[in-house]
Chains A and B, each alone.
Chain A
Amino acid sequence: MQKQINEVIPKLLIANRGEIALRVIKTCRQLGIKTVTLFTEEERQLPHAYESDEAICLGTGPLSETYLNQERIIEIAKLTGAIAIHPGYGFLSENPAFTKKVKEAGLIFIGPSPESMEIMGDKKTSKVKMEEVGIPLIPGYHGDNQEPEFLAKTAKEIGYPVLIKATAGGGGKGMRVVNKESEFIEGLDSAKREAANAFGNDIVLIEKYITGPRHIEVQVMSDRFGNHLHFYERECSIQRRHQKVVEETPSMALTDELRKNICETSVAITTSINYEGAGTVEYILDEDGSYYFLEMNTRLQVEHPVTEMVTGCDLVALQIRVAANLAIDLKQEEIKQTGHAIEVRLYSEDPDNNFMPAIGKINHVGKTSLNDVRLDSGYVDGNSVSINFDPMLAKLIAWGTDREAATIKTLCSLDEVGFLGVKTNREYLKRILVSEPFKKADTLTHFVETNAKLLEKKEMSIEDQAMAIASHLFVEHDHLYKKEIDGTETSWSRLSGFRNV
Chain B
Amino acid sequence: MKRKFFLNGKEIEIELIRNRNGQVSFRHEGQEFNFDLVNKSENKLTLQTDNKTNQVVFANGQYIVNGLDVTIERPQHGRKKSGSDEAGHMTSPMPGKILKVMVSCGDHVKIGDSLVVMEAMKMEHTIKANCDGEVSSIHYKVGEQVDGGVDLVDLKETEK
Enumerate chain A interface residues (CB-CB to B < 8 A). 241, 353, 356-359, 363-364, 366, 387-391, 411, 414-416, 418, 420-421, 426-427, 430, 460, 462-475, 477-478, 483, 485, 487
Contact = CB atoms under 8 A, between A and B. Distances in A.
Nearest to A356: B93
A232 B79 CA distance: 51
Contacts of A414: 67
B21 A418 contact: no
Most buried by B among A359, A411, A415, A467: A467
Contact of A464 (B19, B66, B121): B66
Given A364-B57, A473-B19, A474-B45, A420 B123 contact: no
A463 B33 CA distance: 8
A420 B62 contact: yes
A57 B56 CA distance: 39
A387 B120 contact: yes
B59 A363 contact: yes
Contacts of A366: 43, 57
Interface in B87-104: 93-96
Interface string B21-54: 1101010110101010101100101010100001
A262 to B, nearest CB: 32
A473 B37 CA distance: 10
Contacts, number: 142
B94 A357 contact: yes
A350 to B, nearest CB: 9
Contacts of A363: 59-60, 62
A395 B27 CA distance: 40
Contacts of B156: none
A477 B59 CA distance: 15
Contacts of B60: 363, 420-421
A364 B43 contact: yes
B19 A477 contact: yes
Interface stretch (B4-12, B107-115, B134-142): B4-12
B22 A470 contact: no
B14 A469 contact: yes
A5 to B, nearest CB: 34
B68 A427 contact: yes
B106 interface: no
Interface residues of B, number: 52
A366 B70 CA distance: 16
A388 to B, nearest CB: 8
A359 B69 CA distance: 16
Given A466-B31, A474-B47, A420 B68 contact: no
A460 B8 contact: yes
Contact of A472 (B31, B40, B68, B72): B72
Contact of A460 (B19, B64, B70, B83): B70
Contacts of B37: 474, 485
A378 B149 CA distance: 27
Contact of A485 (B22, B58, B63): B22
Contacts of A463: 33
Contacts of B59: 363-364, 418, 420-421
B24 A415 contact: no
Contacts of A462: 28-29, 31
A278 B100 CA distance: 40
Contacts of A474: 22, 24, 35, 37, 40, 45, 47
17 contacts: A357-B94, A364-B43, A388-B121, A411-B67, A415-B57, A420-B43, A420-B58, A462-B28, A466-B26, A466-B33, A467-B47, A468-B65, A471-B58, A471-B65, A473-B19, A474-B40, A485-B40
A353 B65 CA distance: 21
Nearest to A481: B20
A347 to B, nearest CB: 10
B2 interface: no
B28 A466 contact: yes
Contacts of B16: 473
B75 interface: no
Contact of A470 (B24, B29, B120): B24
Given A357-B120, A364-B58, A467-B65, 14 more contacts: A366-B43, A387-B94, A414-B67, A418-B64, A421-B59, A427-B67, A466-B31, A466-B33, A467-B66, A468-B72, A471-B56, A473-B24, A474-B22, A474-B37
A349 to B, nearest CB: 8
A467 B65 CA distance: 7
Nearest to B94: A359
Contacts of A388: 121
Contacts of A241: 123
B68 A460 contact: yes
B77 interface: no
Contacts of A357: 94, 120-121, 123
A496 B20 CA distance: 26
B121 A389 contact: yes
Contact of A359 (B5, B72, B122, B148): B148
A487 B96 contact: no
Given A462-B29, A487-B22, A358 B94 contact: yes
Nearest to A359: B94
Nearest to B37: A474
